[in-house]
Amino acid sequence: MNIKARVINLIKEVENGKYSNIVLNEYFRDNNLSKKERGFITELFYGVIRNKIFLDYEIDKRTTTIKKDWIRNILRISMYQISFMNSDDKGVIWEATELAKKKFSVPVGKFINGVLRSYQREWQEDVKELKESGKNYIYLSYPEWFYNKLVSEYGEEEGELFLQSLKKTPYISFRVNKLKYSCEEFEKLLQEKKIDIIKKVDSVYYVDSGILLYSDEFRDGKIIVQDASSYLSARNLNPKPDESVLDTCSAPGGKTAVLGELMENRGELLALDIYPHKLKLIEENCHKCGVDIVRTVKMDARKLKEQGKKFDKILVDAPCSGYGVLRKKPEAIYNKNSENVEELAKLQFEILESASQVLKDNGELVYSTCTILKEENGENIKKFLEKYPNFKTVELYIPENVNGSYDNVGGFTVDYKEDILDGFYIVKLKKNKEKG
């Protein structure tokens, strides 16, 4: 099957509700492709999803109605190649025309040819017009509300840098589980498999191939898929052996496993979630990693006082809008709105406030999210510190090769300056004993 025809099928799966990263990983697992083929498919697949608003704007400008998804997707793919890839435009148009003729008819092929030739001539002028008319959000391919939100929080220049950075191609990352494996052993495995390291953050490796998903090492829990940003939120809590530790919003258990590893499998580690099937997932993932001190509990983290116990350290990796991980799940931007953010910020504060009540005096709490919006991050922490002056922010551990910015309350955002890691927010709080 032609590669573009394959990509059309993959895009259709995402439009039917499957996560893009799962669709692509499953396809690569089931098909024996060269590294070059995998790279080309990845670029086209994610490129179309990331730029869907702009591509559809250009298609709708040149057509009345398109009833068949296949036709819209071949136009999207071809327009993406013309604008965003170093392609031979005439070759792109010819191939799309021939594919349409073969699948449908000569008239359909002529229609595709006409639309793409018009686009080839005019798209750069269209982009100029969008920018001049205050509609750059269309070219950047974001909902208008999200563009305005980023610009209002960070200013136009910095906001657009954020938006552009979220379009970059993601790399898969594996964390070495030191309860079962070593970095030296993993690096030897990478050499044997001829897999290149893109970036290393502590025990997290970004690599140029996902083939290790089907390895014995992955199956045995020696390595797990985890972004360094996610790892750093747990690493910053830095629990010690024999401490009592709470992970308030645990699923799927990746950070819980880091906490267990840091505790050397000694102590008390409580993992919460409100859904039984997610608790089972936490148990399975921790068992796979050899972490056996975890006790899962079905509980709403907003009701922590009811369980009557206090903890040395607490991780609040709060439910969030997820806009920091759009590189990996670009389709997520199309089904959320500003009301979602307001509701989430309120929920996050309630969970943080609840967790703070069951933290021991001199205990430490890490609050983190996988979003870049200030409303869910620094603004929540500022409000919390004003309400609870016995809490103070403390210094974070951020490796030198991780780029981002500190805010005025001491939190760190992995932001547009970072090319590889997911966008993330981390802040660490210490509870001082209240006077009187």
250 known member of a binding site: yes
253 known member of a binding site: yes
389 known member of a binding site: no
252 known member of a binding site: yes
Neighbours of 46 (CB within 10 A): 22
Q: Can 370 be counted among the known catalytic residues?
A: yes
Pick from 42, 44, 92, 364: nearest CA to 210: 42
Structure tokens at 316: 């609040």
Contacts of 123 (CB under 8 A, 6+ apart): 58, 79, 82, 83
Contacts of 150 (CB under 8 A, 6+ apart): 159, 160, 162, 163, 372, 373
Burial 369-395 (b: 16+ CB within 10 A, else e): bbbbbbbbbbbbbeebbeebeebebee
Contacts of 110 (CB under 8 A, 6+ apart): 97
Pick from 396, 414, 390: nearest CA to 404: 414
273 known member of a binding site: yes
For 1, 30, 134, 177, 384, the CA distances from 24, given in Å and listed in that order, are 16, 10, 35, 25, 41
Structure tokens at 431: 């509870």
**Residue 3: exposure state from Cβ atoms within 10 A (0-12, 13-18, ≥19):** middle
Structure tokens at 337: 């709105």
Distance in angstroms (rounded) separating the CA atoms of residues 323 and 333: 8
Distance in angstroms (rounded) separating the CA atoms of residues 238 and 72: 50
251 known member of a binding site: yes
317 known member of a binding site: yes
Neighbours of 55 (CB within 10 A): 25
Residues marked as binding? 249-255, 273, 300, 317
User: Could you list the active site residues?
Assistant: 370
Residues marked as binding for S-adenosyl-L-methionine? 249-255, 273, 300, 317
